[in-house]
Structure 1
Amino acid sequence: MVLTKISEMLNQFSPANLKIANYILGNYSEIGFISVEDLSNHSGVSKASVVRFARIVGYSGFDELKKAIQSELRKKLSPYEKIAITDLDRRSLQKQLEELSRNEINNLRKTLDSLTPEEAIKWVEAIIEAQHIYLAGFGATRFVISLLSYALATFQSKPLWMLTGSVSDFSPRVKHMESKDLLIIMTFPPYSKEFEYVVSVARKKGTKILLACDSPQCPVFPYAYSAVICESNSLLLNNSFVGPIALIQIISNFLLLREKKTGMKEMKEIWNVELEGYKYIAKEGGEEE
Structure 2
Amino acid sequence: MVLLEVAPDLSRSRLQSLIRQGMVRIDGQALLKPAARVEIGAAVEIELPEPIPDEALPQDIPIDIVYEDSHVVVVDKAAGMVVHPGAGHHDGTLVNALLHHIGSLSGIGGVVRPGIVHRLDKGTSGLMVVAKNDVAHHGLADQFAKHTAGRRYLALCLGLPSGRSGVIRSNLARHRTARLLLASTEGSGKPACTHWRLIEQHEGLSLVQCRLETGRTHQIRVHLTEAGWPLVGDNIYKRCNKPVPDLLKGIVATDRPLLHAYRLSFEHPQSGQTQSFFAPVPPDYVEALVAGGFSIGAIDEKIKFLPGSKKIGLQG
TM-score normalized by structure 1?
0.27
Instruction: Decide which structure has greater helix share.
Output: 1
Instruction: Decide which structure has greater strand share.
Output: 2
Between 1 and 2, higher relative CO (CA 8 Å, sep ≥ 6) is seen in: 1
